[in-house]
Amino acid sequence: MPIFLDTGNLAEIERFHRMGIIRGVTTNPTILLKDGVTGGLRGIEARSKEIAKLIAPFPLSVEVTTPDRVEALRQAQMFASWADNIVVKVTIHGPEGELENLEIVHELETKHNIRVNVTAMMSAQQCFLAALAGATYVSMFGGRVNNMGYNACGEIAKLRKVLDQFGLQSQIIVGSTREVLNVIEWLEAGAHIVTVLPDLLKGMIVHPYSKETVQQFLRDAAQAEAMIRGSSA
């Protein structure tokens, strides 16, 4: 499942889904707010149900909106009830480094049979621990890792090696994608999935030399048709 679309925009999701090139969608409160979702949890529910129905059976990740353990568990179970293909996103720890989140992950996966995407991680060691807790997906923010001054490819490769070494089934998602180049290099490094924004996915498809070539083909075709019409006149 190599490419997930990182958006809450229904039109963009539908466009790329029709092409057959995405295998899931990821969201978070920031993305949904940017894409015009209002009304709090009711708005998130309405948009999530629309997206989940559109892309089924591919997964949709929806993030809990609270650091409180009890409320996060309640939200997670509610989100999962909206559609069979919804995955619940939980950050690796709380806003001040609180450690309860991995307890939430473990409980959701082992007691409630809810798939979890552990997010906001910046290192192989964080992702490894989330995998041990039972997370279905472990999300590393590759672009932010690069911004910190070291290459995310090294962290991805180390993580993939230890997951395989210990037989852990978690899928590696790498997000915070900054450049078209990131997609292939992160997949090559060992990521199972890379998340991309719609504009970046467009950039993967459209190449300036491809545009130039297509334009040349069409000019030559038009010239050939004109010559045929002229010779048959």
Other beta carbons within 10 angstroms of residue 104's beta carbon come to 21
CB-CB contact of 134 with 110 (8 Å):
yes
Catalytic residue among 34, 89, 111, 158: 89
Measured distance CA(58)–CA(79) in Å, rounded: 16
CB-CB contact of 116 with 77 (8 Å):
no
Beta bridge partners of 120: none
HSE at residue 222, side-chain half, CA atoms within 13 A, is 6
211 part of the active site: no
Other beta carbons within 10 angstroms of residue 112's beta carbon come to 14
Catalytic residues: 89
